[in-house]
Amino acid sequence: MIFTDLDGTLLDYHTYSFKKALPALKEIKKEKIPLILCTSKTCAETEFYLKKLKILHPFIVENGGAIFIPKGYFHKRFSNLKKRSKYWVKELGTSYQTLRKRLGEVSQKFKVKIKGFGDMKPEEIAKKYELSLREAKLSKKRQYDEPFYFVSKIDFEILNKIKKEFAQLNLFLTKGGRLFHLTGKNDKGRAVKILKRMYEMEWNTKVKAIGIGDSLNDLPMLRIVDFPILVKLQDESYDKDVLKNIKPILSLGIGPQGWNEKVLEILENFNGRWLCLSQRRRIKIP
């Protein structure tokens, strides 16, 4: 299995293109390896990229806020899933309304000015983050995660106090490649662990998992997987906060170039034999 972040990882930081990762993506499809998008993006945004990538696997949205499983994907039935349109959904996050309310309260308490996606129009998001207007509109369909930034510079001590304040409210503040994110007590790692277990129950065997990310909000995912890969940032450095906590496999390339490089390397080392044929027949893998 491969769990991957999108922005700055599989997708180029500026262009949102995955062109440099195409050789590895073709090999993954050829070997019928589940590619699981694990992102801070909304369900609507993620569906946009699922269509582009031509994959029909489960996916994880809004920093582990929920797992979306296409109906009919698994043969086994799993408990505590909600039926929503064409998906079974495992909800792990706190409601967006609660996040917005708490974010406003805490920013007022510490007298810091923040701006979240809930405060921004699609046109502003599109311009600021180099998105199309269509993608910007999709990015506002949030359910479990509020991305935001501090309008004026904030020092490390105040930031830590704000984190502790959110923790007392059972909320979690993390940093992505571009923005801070406020979520409930969910993260990518918890969602990855649950979905990986579903696959193991479906296939009745242990599976190996690759995880690929570029920033601190990917750390929980990278802790869980067997092969944690950290791709280079735009300035050709690695996220220092991730390196303080784990020893990942480091790519030489930036974003999708590094993604392609390390995925091909790992697949070659394992000779592409991630799933035995008898197990592949037990699940519909498009």
Q: Which positions are annotated as active-site residues?
A: 5
Q: What are phi and psi of 59, to 5 degrees?
A: -150, 160
Tokens read off for 158: 């105040």
Q: Which residues contact 31 (CB under 8 A, 6 or more apart)?
A: 267, 272, 274, 275
Q: How many residues can be counted in the chain?
A: 286
Kind and range of the H or E run holding 122: helix 122-128
CA distance 53 to 47: 10
Q: Which two tokens stand for residue 148?
A: 């935001």
Nearest-angstrom CA–CA distance, 111 and 152: 11
Which letter, b or e, does each residue of 162-196 get, where b requires 16 or more Cβ atoms within 10 Å of its Cβ? Answer: beebbeeeebbbbebbebbbbbbebbbbbbbbbbb
237 vs 233: CA distance, rounded Å: 5
**CA of residue 155 relative to chain centroid, distance:** 27
| Closest among 111, 280, 148 to 207, alpha carbons compared | 280
**HSE-CB of 119 using CA atoms within 13 angstroms:** 15
